[in-house]
């Protein structure tokens, strides 16, 4: 039953992955994720519907803009496929349940911040903080308990301590010793807060799903511009 459900979920999850590409490309630039429609950022060509089908359009266009020939990075179909696989895996693991939807949302958040981190070297609070609130409220509704409030307090305290109090001194120190990936260090502190909330109830399966989208475990790649 869960296998059939995950197969059905896979196709719409590809569309969700396509939307996450828009979020990852536009939020760091402070652009609307609603309008205008998707377009080549090199020549401004607005994509027709058949040029915007997840994965298949990228393959049909051979990874290039139809008008100017600018390369469209492989990160775009990768995000779409990764999102689809993780969301399908959520429903495969937990069936049709509230936990599946929370896990799928959590995975989508991780894919989004991973794509943003890889391309812009930042993890926007405008994505992470609302996601944290959504996961906290959802899991509290599913499993009413004071542990979620305590977990939120603990994660918030950790973030304040690790990111706000000591980030500047740590960045200076890491820069002196030649460590360049400080953005990954402190970006993951925010993502860790969301991960902590979900993993308290999801156990090992939820943890594995989360780690698959962790930006610290992803290899940085270059990509072209589509949005």
* Dihedral pair phi/psi, residue 39, rounded to 5°: -150, 160
The pTM of the full predicted model, rounded to 2 decimals, is 0.69
Measured distance CA(39)–CA(104) in Å, rounded: 27
Q: Write down the pLDDT at residue 82.
A: 96
Measured distance CA(192)–CA(110) in Å, rounded: 10
**CB-based contacts of 42, cutoff 8 Å, min separation 6:** 65, 68, 70, 224, 225
Q: Write down the pLDDT at residue 194.
A: 52
- Answer for the pair 117, 215: CB distance below 8 angstroms, yes or no: yes
66-80, 104-118, 149-163, 169-183 — which is least confidently predicted? 169-183
Percent of the chain with pLDDT over 90: 33
pLDDT tens per residue, range 20-62: 999 999 998 888 888 888 888 788 888 888 888 999 999 998 8
pLDDT tens per residue, range 101-127: 999 999 999 999 999 988 888 888 889
Measured distance CA(225)–CA(227) in Å, rounded: 6
* Dihedral pair phi/psi, residue 64, rounded to 5°: -135, 155
């Amino acid at each position: 039953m869960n296998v059939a459900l995950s197969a059905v979920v896979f196709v719409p999850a590809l569309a969700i992955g396509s939307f996450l590409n828009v979020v990852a490309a536009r939020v760091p630039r402070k652009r609307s994720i609603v309008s205008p429609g998707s377009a080549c950022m090199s020549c401004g060509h607005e994509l027709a519907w058949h040029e915007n089908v997840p994965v298949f359009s990228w393959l049909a266009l051979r990874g290039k803009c139809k008008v100017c020939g600018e390369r469209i990075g492989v990160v775009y179909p990768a995000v779409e496929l990764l999102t689809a696989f993780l969301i399908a895996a959520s429903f495969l693991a937990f069936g049709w349940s509230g936990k599946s939807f929370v896990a799928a949302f959590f995975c989508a958040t991780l894919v989004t911040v991973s794509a943003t981190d890889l391309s812009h070297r930042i993890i926007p609070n405008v994505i992470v903080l609302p996601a944290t609130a959504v996961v906290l409220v959802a899991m509290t509704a599913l499993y009413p308990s004071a542990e979620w409030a305590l977990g939120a307090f603990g994660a918030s305290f950790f973030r304040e301590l690790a990111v706000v109090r000591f980030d500047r001194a740590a960045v200076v120190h890491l820069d002196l010793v030649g460590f360049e990936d400080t953005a990954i260090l402190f970006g993951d502190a925010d993502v860790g807060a969301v991960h902590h909330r979900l993993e308290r109830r999801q156990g090992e399966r939820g943890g594995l799903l989360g780690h698959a989208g962790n930006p610290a475990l992803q290899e940085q790649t270059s990509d072209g511009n589509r949005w």
